[in-house]
Structure 1
Amino acid sequence: MHSAIDVIRTKRDGRQLTDEQIDWVVDAYTRGEVADEQMAALAMAILLRGMTAAETARWTAAMVASGQTLVLDGVRWPTVDKHSTGGVGDKITLPLTPLVAACGAAVPQLSGRGLGHTGGTLDKLESIPGWRARLSADEIRARLDDVGAVVCAATEGLAPADRKLYALRDVTGTVESIPLIASSIMSKKIAEGVQSLVLDVKCGSGAFMKDLDQARRLATTLVEIGTANGLRTSALITDMSVPLGRAVGNALEVAEAVEVLRGGGPADVVELTVALAREMLAHAGLSDVDPAEVLADGRAFETWCRMIAAQGGDPEAPLPVARYVEVVTAPETGTLTRLDAYAVGVAAWRLGAGRARKEDAVQHAAGVLCRAKPGDQVQAGQPLLELHTDRPDTTAGAREALAGAYEISGADWKSTPLILDRVGAERLPAGSS
């Protein structure tokens, strides 16, 4: 017979939880038998004492078992997904999903909404008139068979333990625990029923993980959980010290993603989209397909149009445009040497692009457009940033967030790599699965 007190004491005292204790406490918490205050105490003990790789893998499996899993066995293409730990201007899901589908894999991208300074994929896509985020499991499977790509909200039955625990961690100071972050991410991805997963672990000021060692620890934990649960998994660690691309905000990011799909767009967005696509295609046994070629020749854009239309959206409809745009100009002439991702994300949030609470609405047209990026030469008075909003009263708070966020210098600027590291099994040869 198990009790919450015994489980809490075990972890509080630095001992390893047994598989039976983990299975019981996750199930009992989901059913309401373990109270929030007891799970909060256990979460704090996990934060302070940590978990072994075996404990974390079992905790993840227990959260998957708390609900349903999406059965994708009948889908006619190999299934592969991507998950990003979140950043500023991170619109990669938008061009990546149709690109990988156009290359011959099926991508069920169950996504979330933004909170705070990081944007949410569903908020971005809801900028498109008519597009809907909620699909049933049958609709998800139908879209995968028909288009090969779907981006939607997670169905209610997937990993309900995670939903409860996620909300509790947010209000108990236990968000930072790497085992709890990793199990939260992976329980939802394993419940999706995909065959393989590629993770984009962000590192830098605009990311949750601020330094490379932290990001490596998280990436390693995520890959270990996936492998232990039978999911072929790898991770790229990517830089998030500077906003990704030039657009930060929902409709602005959709417009930039469409640029990329039409064969243009910012070089960093294209680079990361293609790198993640190659990683995903290697897992799917499609290493012989060149995603750069598929992106350039228009096939990915055609798949995007079909993907949006299949969920009720009009890919040709005009996107929302802000009623008010204020320009931040360069105070001096020189090289832009720094543009802080976190500050730009907070500015976009204050302009209305994000939300403080899950219930809040977002302004789809709000955000920041970066008219210059580090390495660019700028002249005094030249536009650096555009602040887009429907509410002019928000720009003062956005400007305050941007104070000290950029530097202009006469010194030489050295670029840093976008992809910092890779964690996981070696790349698979073409044709493997």
Structure 2
Amino acid sequence: MVEVERREGNNLRVQIVIDSEDAKRALEEIGVDSGGVRWMAPKALHYIIKVKKLGTPAALILKQEMLSRGGEAAVSRKAGNFSVQETDVLLMGTLRQYDELCKKIKMQPFGLRRLADEIQDVLRNYGKKEVRTLRCRDLSLTLGERTLVMGILNVTPDSFSDGGKFFDPSAAVEHAHRMVEEGADIIDVGGESTRPATWTQEPLPAEEEIRRLRPVLERLVKELKVPISVDTYKAETARAALEAGVHIINDIWGFQRDPGMAKVAGEYDVPVVLMHNKKDTAYRDMMGEIIAFLRKSIRIAEEGGVSPENIIIDPGIGFGKTTEQNLIVLRRLAELRSLGKPVLLGTSRKSVIGNTLNLPVDQRLEGSIATVVWGIAQGAADIIRVHDVKESVRAARMTDAIMNSR
């Protein structure tokens, strides 16, 4: 009698592959040779790319070419009989299929050569994982090794969370020292409340903003060994802060409110944070419009002399968005990686947390931590801007450890 070994099935599972390193490692673990790893790893990563308002002839060629490579492409049903002049396109495929598609459509008319370059740029940006140094005048920050933490310091009488608490310069400086001791990598100082409720009021004059900021900034740049950021959308204030020695400019209007901002930042060669903002909450394609706004801000910054390596983007949670819209932006945060820039995420104590959990400002710590962890886990938060530094640093370090485990 031949004895047959009993088996409990083949122990199947779905294997998670997040990026190209995961794909290569999964193949190497089962003994695939190096040539096979190079060939098959791009097939393990699948992406959906949305192309906005492509001319119908180009869209139909694009669809045909993608389908012929085993991918998928969706267009408006009206494009099939040319009853519309343009259509959005959803492309669905692996990195290998996109590579083959782009090689082919570079030989096609209707602007498809340029589109091929844009597809390759977006995929390159999305998959970009690099460690690099952010030069902050006489200081520097390392991006890509771990999530950086920006501590919030409001020297205002009316900010939504801590208005008036650090209005006194000595109290503000003392709090900045405390945040650095708790692990803050950057201190972000603001002299004007930018909560939406204040937008119907006259903007704070630059002279008053500078008066509030100067005594604090002058002490911080001397006493702290971390970069100091100034939160302002006014070129006059930005220049005064830079003259005081500030290292980073953080503009909640992404250089689209004051036309002088880009020139000032470019002149001093400092990093900038460009945030999405809007005076209302009406959108047709919210993520598309946010990314288009940020692309425009990046262009304005670069044309003003800001180095491309000095640009950081911010989706603007809490600005020009309802509670539900803020949740959607958080859910789809990874789409910002298409721009190829480091992302700053600022959710700390904001109304999206209060409204979701029905909690007042002083009870939003856990909700704030949840958004921080989510952003890091999406690979879409390189810097987090927070009030509660100690707790946020711990949450970020734990999340980083999980994300960096191989």
* Pair member with larger Rg: 2
Give the structure-2-normalised TM-score.
0.32
Could you tell me the TM-score, scaled by structure 1's length?
0.31
Greater relative CO (CA pairs within 8 A, separation 6+):
1
